[in-house]
Structure 1
């Protein structure tokens, strides 16, 4: 059984001080960096929002459910992986891959992303023989939830390491955790 760590959207814009900063984002970044430093995975995959022109996903009057302020604009510092995570990735001897999502439309799940060669996350995981994943990152109630649900739907043994996630709001985070549990995603 090959296991991957999927690091969902631990980007500058989703940490405190960013365009859509989530409380606890910097703590998640530090914790994820420490997890990467521990090793033990057959693959580490990062996902990134990488918006070029995502249409109605961005709004000057966002509802924070379907529309959001400008964030993770491709090529900007806000779209980059948090420095702590980037440093841990650079120092690890584990294989590392990255997928970017949401260039021209909203994309929440890492499974909507592609790597530099155009391979989707499912293909990246399959090529590495991965059949189990630990999912961490930001935000629990949006992109972590969507990525974990898609992994489970693909038949991958899926665990969310809740202590290495941060959510936008308590109510939506709890609803996401309840749904993940219902869909047989392990929460630890």
Structure 2
């Protein structure tokens, strides 16, 4: 079994009350924790990413500094390294995370594949080293970083499932469009309690 779980950007700034909080973010954090508790042997590895932006400058044009954010290319200040907003949501089970990835350090970054570990390894390098051929994707936001991460996983030749009950997006229309795009690209859009093919775990 070489299945990996990607937890994308489940951070305080992306959940309710945060700088870019989305509706349902807290429920996603709690739901991911429940998934990992219910199926402790489902994943060979669990990788979690965080936006980790520089405190100074506009992070390569990612932060709106001279004009109002357009919420497409430029955004309000969020997930600044070392701040509470950049930390994982407290409902997430960090004891189940094997690898932590930081992205967006001084530049725009959406996909988990754009991040690196503390030791400088990329996610693609990790997947290759593990021989991982299946990836489940959960997290925030469906229409931005989840979308980008899942598309990159498909492009990397992995079998990809997006767990639709464990993602939350900025807007309903763009989130639905992202899931349609991912399905067209070859990702499976499934519920978290739907077993992967070959999974012999008992039903929770």
The RMSD of aligned alpha carbons is 1.1
Provide the residue aligned with 1:144 in structure 2: 146
Counterparts of 2:13 and 2:127, CA distance in 1:
26
Counterparts of 2:10 and 2:130, CA distance in 1:
22
Provide the residue aligned with 1:78 in structure 2: 85
Give CA-to-partner distance per residue, 1:75-133, whole Å, 9 cap, x none.
11100111111xx222x4xx610111000111000000000010011112222221101
For normalisation by structure 1, the TM-score amounts to: 0.94
Give the superposition deviation at 1:158.
0.3
Check if 1:66 corresponds to 2:73. yes
Counterparts of 1:109 and 1:70, CA distance in 2:
18
Q: Is the 8 A contact 1:36 1:89 kept in 2?
A: no
Give the superposition deviation at 1:175.
1.2
Provide the residue aligned with 1:46 in structure 2: 48
Counterparts of 1:128 and 1:13, CA distance in 2:
31
Provide the residue aligned with 1:159 in structure 2: 161
Counterparts of 1:153 and 1:55, CA distance in 2:
25
Provide the residue aligned with 1:89 in structure 2: 94
Q: Secondary structure at the match of 1:171?
A: helix
Q: Higher helix share goes to which structure?
A: 1
Q: Name which one, 1 or 2, has greater alpha-carbon Rg.
A: 2
Structure 1 alignment gaps of length 5 or more: none
Provide the residue aligned with 1:25 in structure 2: 25
Provide the residue aligned with 1:168 in structure 2: 170
Q: Is the 8 A contact 1:136 1:161 kept in 2?
A: yes
Q: Is the 8 A contact 1:158 1:185 kept in 2?
A: yes
Matched positions, count: 183
Provide the residue aligned with 1:3 in structure 2: 3
Give the superposition deviation at 1:22.
0.3
Structure 2 alignment gaps of length 5 or more: 191-204
